[in-house]
A and B are shown apart, each in its own frame.
Chain A
Amino acid sequence: MTAGRVLDTGLQLLDRQLVDRSGRLCGKVDDLELTEPDEHGNLYVSGILCGPGALLLRTGHTRLGSWVRRMLPVAFDNPGAVIVIPLQRVSDIGSHVTLSLDSEQVPTFAAERWVREHIVSHIPGSGVDAPR
Chain B
Amino acid sequence: MKKVVQITLGVLTAIGGFVDMGDLVANAETGARFRMNLAWVVLVGVVGIVVYAEMAGRVAAVSQRPVFELVRERLGPGPGLVNLCASFFINFLTLTAELAGVAIALSLVASVHYALLLPIAAFLVWLVIWRMPFERMERLFGLGGLALLVFAVTVWKLGPDWGQLFDAAASPHIPRDETPFTYSYYAIALFGAAMTPYEVFFFSSGAVEERWTERDLALNRANVLVGFPLGGLLSLALMASTHLVLAPRNISVDDLSQVALPAAFVVGKLGLAAALIGIFAATFGAALETALSAGYTVSQYLGWQWGKYVKPREASRFHLVVLLAIAGALLFALSGVDPIKVTEYSIVLSAAALPLTYLPILVIANDRDYMGDKVNGRLLNAVGTVYLIILVIVSVAAVPLIIITKGGA
Q: Does B113 contact A (CB under 8 A)?
A: no
Determine if B65 and A126 form an interchain contact, defined as CB atoms under 8 angstroms apart. no
With a cutoff of 8 Å between Cβ atoms, the chain B residues found around residue A91 in the complex are none
Do A119 and B316 touch (CB < 8 A)? yes
B77: contacting residue among A26, A59, A115, A116, CB under 8 A: A59
| A85 close to chain B: CB less than 8 A | no
Main secondary structure of the interface of B (DSSP, over half): helix
* Count, A-B residue pairs, CB within 8 A: 89
B303 x A50 contact (CB < 8 A)? yes
CA distance A116 to B304 in the complex (A): 13
B305 touches A126 (CB 8 A): no
Q: Is A39 an interface residue (CB 8 A)?
A: no
Interface-central residue, A16, A27, A95, A121, by most chain B CB under 10 Å? A95
Closest to A8 in B: B369
Docked-complex contact B312 and A96, CB < 8 angstroms: no
Q: Is the CB of A27 within 8 A of B130?
A: no
| Among B76, B311, B320, contact of A115 (Cβ-Cβ < 8 Å) | B320
Residues B302-335 near A (CB distance < 8 A): 302-306, 308-314, 316-317, 319-320
A30 and B130 CA atoms in complex are apart in Å by 30
Q: Which of A12, A28, A126, A127 makes the CB contact (< 8 A) with B72?
A: A28
Task: Judge whether B180 is part of the interface by a CB distance below 8 angstroms.
Answer: no
Give B32-78 interface residues, CB cut-off 8 Å to A: 63-65, 69, 72-73, 76-78
Considering only CB atoms and an 8 Å cut-off, how many residues of chain B contact the other chain?
34
In the bound complex, residues from chain B placing their C-beta under 8 Å from that of A127 are 311-313
User: Is B133 an interface residue, CB under 8 A from the partner?
Assistant: yes
Cβ-based interface call for B123 (8 A): no
Contact across chains for A126 and B313 when beta carbons are under 8 A apart: yes
B131 contacts chain A at the CB level, 8 A cutoff: yes
Q: In whole angstroms, how far apart are the Cα atoms of A52 and B81 in the complex?
A: 12
Q: Which of A17, A55, A111, A131 has the most CB of B within 10 A?
A: A17
Q: Which residues of B contact A17 (CB under 8 A)?
A: 65, 69, 303
Which B residues are in CB contact (< 8 Å) with A15? 72-73, 76-77, 80
Q: Is A25 within 8 A of B135, CB to CB?
A: no
Nearest to B135 among chain A residues (CB) is: A132
Cα distance A15–B76 when bound, in Å?
Answer: 7
Min Cβ gap A120→B in Å is 4
- A120 near B316 with CB under 8 A, answer yes
> Contact at B311–A58, with CB atoms within 8 Å?
no
Q: A15-B72, A15-B76, A125-B131 are in contact. Are A25 and B311 (CB under 8 A)?
A: no
Interface membership of chain A positions 65-92, coded 1 if the CB is closer than 8 angstroms to chain B and 0 otherwise: 0000000000000000000000000000
Candidates B64, B135, B306; contact of A96 at CB < 8 Å: B64
Contact A119 B305, CB 8 Å, known A125-B312, A126-B312, A131-B133: no
Cβ < 8 Å to B, chain A residues 87-132: 94-96, 103, 111-112, 115-116, 119-121, 123, 125-132
A32 in the interface (beta carbon within 8 A): no
Query: How far in angstroms is the closest Cβ of chain A from B327?
Result: 13
- Counting CB contacts under 8 A, is A49 at the interface? no
Nearest CB in chain B: distance from A101 CB, A: 14
Closest chain B CB from A130 CB (angstroms) = 5
B residues less than 8 Å from A125 (CB atoms): 130-131, 312
B370 at the interface (CB under 8 A from A): yes
Q: Is B89 an interface residue (CB 8 A)?
A: no
B320: chain A residues at CB < 8 Å are 115, 119-120
Is A128 in contact with B305, judged by CB distance below 8 angstroms?
A: no
A112/B312 in contact, CB under 8 A: no
Residues of B within 8 A of A119 (CB): 316, 320
Q: How far, in Å, is B51 (CB) from chain A's closest CB? A: 22
Top 7 closest A-B pairs, CB basis?
A28-B303, A116-B316, A95-B63, A120-B316, A115-B316, A27-B303, A126-B313
Please list 27 pairs of residues, one from A and one from B, whose beta carbons are closer than 8 Å in the complex, sorted by A's number: A14-B76, A15-B72, A16-B73, A18-B303, A24-B305, A25-B299, A25-B303, A27-B304, A28-B303, A59-B78, A95-B64, A96-B63, A96-B64, A111-B317, A115-B316, A115-B317, A120-B319, A121-B313, A123-B130, A125-B131, A125-B312, A129-B311, A130-B308, A130-B309, A130-B310, A131-B133, A132-B135
* Chain A residues packing against B (C-beta within 8 Å): 12, 14-18, 24-28, 30, 50, 52, 55, 58-59, 94-96, 103, 111-112, 115-116, 119-121, 123, 125-132
A-B contacts besides A115-B320, A126-B312, 6 pairs, CB < 8 Å? A12-B369, A15-B76, A16-B73, A17-B65, A58-B77, A130-B310
